[in-house]
Amino acid sequence: MRVAVAGAGNVGRSIAQELTDNGHEVILIERQQSRFRPERVPNAQWALADACEVASLEEVGIASCDVVVAATNDDKVNLVLSLLAKTEFAVGRVVSRVNRAENEWLFTEQWGVDVAVSKPRMMAALVEEAVTVGDLVRLMTFRQGQANLVEITLPPSAPHVGQAVSEMPLPPDTALVAILRGKRVLIPSPDDPVESGDELIFICTAERECDLQEIILGGPPPEAEESQV
């Protein structure tokens, strides 16, 4: 997979390093000479360019990328790059960093963003996930499909504790994608039983969250919690 990452700060370099370590081809775009340090991610292709200029994006070959990651510390730059990548170069998938929580509403498919990653929201969600049992916690939103990655930690009183995954009648537009049990990550199969304390990771539409919470926990759910920063 060919990926362009804009922004060679700590976030951009970390993403680029992880992707190159996994065997992907990465172009790391940085416009500030002081941050242009190819030796920090030597397996990436570095480009000293402005990610908001069409000519610069053409020169680095954005059109040939499968994914563009807007990872700068400037929300305006990330939005402009996302829009250009999607509308001018028809990039299949655009992932954008949201630096300021109050700007999150802008990072939608109208701006070319397929997945918006808000660090404040994710940090708050991880705090909630660590301390909350018996509530639905949203971990991430996938904007284009209006689907959410959500987590529910099973209390001992959950109605399906001890039953097989296939016995949980999930609502439409919902998929159980992983079970976290202690230090183990389990890919669920129909015959796997769920246990008290399991962290169930689902992908579902926002409209199905209340139905999911009611099925998994039993009884009418309280208002679904969402990380707010």
Task: With respect to residue 224, please indicate whether it lies within any of the assigned structural domains.
Answer: no
pLDDT above 90 (res 141): no
What's residue 163's pLDDT? Answer: 93
Report which of residues 2 and 123 the model is more confident about: 2
Q: Which domain holds residue 39?
A: 2-113
pTM of the model: 0.62
| Under 8 Å between Cβ of 212 and 174 | yes
pLDDT above 50 (res 229): no
Same-domain pairing of 16 and 107:
yes
Q: What mean pLDDT value characterizes the chain?
A: 86
Residue 122 tokens read as 């994710």
What's residue 101's pLDDT? Answer: 82
pLDDT above 60 (res 220): no
Percentage of the chain lying above the pLDDT 70 cut: 87
What's residue 143's pLDDT? Answer: 54
Same-domain pairing of 13 and 109:
yes
pLDDT in tens, 83-123: 999 999 999 999 999 998 889 899 998 999 988 887 666 65
First-to-last CA distance in the chain? 34
Dmax over Cα atoms in the chain, in whole Å? 60
Residue located via tokens 């990039």: 91
Measuring CA to CA, how many Å separate 8 from each of 19, 30, 108? 14, 6, 24
Looking at residues 23-36, what average pLDDT do you find? 94
Same-domain pairing of 208 and 132:
yes
Task: With respect to residue 226, please indicate whether it lies within any of the assigned structural domains.
Answer: no
Query: Domain ends where: 68, 87, 113?
Result: 113
Looking at residues 27-33, what average pLDDT do you find? 96
- Residue 68 has, within 13 A of its CA and on its CB side, a CA count of 32
What's residue 221's pLDDT? Answer: 44
**Distance separating alpha carbons of residues 155 and 131, to the nearest angstrom:** 12
pLDDT in tens, 165-177: 999 999 999 999 9
Query: Domain ends where: 51, 84, 113?
Result: 113
Q: Helix, strand or coil for residue 29? A: strand
What's residue 52's pLDDT? Answer: 96
